[in-house]
Chains A and B, each alone.
Chain A
């Protein structure tokens, strides 16, 4: 089985730009998560989808972060506009009925 795919692996953006990160979950998984990872804050949940329905939108991240599940096998995370403090690794994970999460390799975002 293919694991979780994330593209791009690296992204460099200028402050104020719009960027879109992409994720393909494990086939057959109903749950999809977006996380932000930094050394200081650790793993922060941005969005949680179940069967394409948004279960959690990450509270403090609602302003400039928008995750969507375009279909059961593709999700995007849009950051608009980007700020330097958004520099982090963005992880996508999917989960099946056993509640075990499968993580992608992450996208490393640098905002100048």
Chain B
């Protein structure tokens, strides 16, 4: 079955440190992939998206993600975390074989320490 997994429910980093949030998908082909961020009491906002092409995609606020077909992964990275990055991050996929219905991971809560 098609699915998206975020193995880390919570990640804690110090301000200024680098960050990687993990995302893996299950699908025989190549889905469209997305990272969204949710700040408290708000809806989700798009950080970046991947369509088949260059495996490294750049997003807003210094975020980037790398697609790996061999690992079925789409990990999110940032070189230097800011306190304002404290939020919940969701990985999502739309699968061409499934009406492009979006499937979300359960989210990773990012905590930033000063």
Count of CB-CB pairs between chains A and B under 8 Å: 50
Taking CB atoms, residues of chain B closer than 8 Å to A106 are: 42-43
**Are the CB atoms of A100 and B49 closer together than 8 Å?**
yes
Contact with A along B43-69 (1 / 0, CB 8 A): 111100100000000000000000000
A93–B36 Cα distance when bound, in Å, is 13
Q: Which of A11-19, A40-48, A66-74, A80-88 contacts B (4 or more CB under 8 A)?
A: A40-48
Write the nearest CB–CB distance from A104 to chain B, whole angstroms: 5
Mark interface residues in B87-100 (1 if CB within 8 Å of A CB, else 0).
00010101000011
B43 touches A4 (CB 8 A): yes
Complex contact B100–A99 (CB within 8 A): yes
Q: How large is the interface on B (under 10, 10 to 19, 20 to 34, 35 or more residues)?
A: 20 to 34
- Interface bracket on A: 20 to 34
User: Does the CB pair B43–A105 fall under 8 Å?
Assistant: yes
Q: Would you mind naming 20 contact pairs between A and B with Cβ atoms under 8 Å apart?
A: A42-B104, A42-B105, A42-B107, A45-B101, A48-B101, A50-B99, A55-B101, A91-B43, A95-B102, A98-B49, A99-B49, A99-B102, A100-B46, A101-B34, A101-B36, A101-B92, A103-B44, A105-B41, A105-B43, A106-B42
Q: Is the CB of A99 within 8 A of B44?
A: no
A101-B44 contact given A42-B106, A43-B90, CB 8 Å threshold: yes
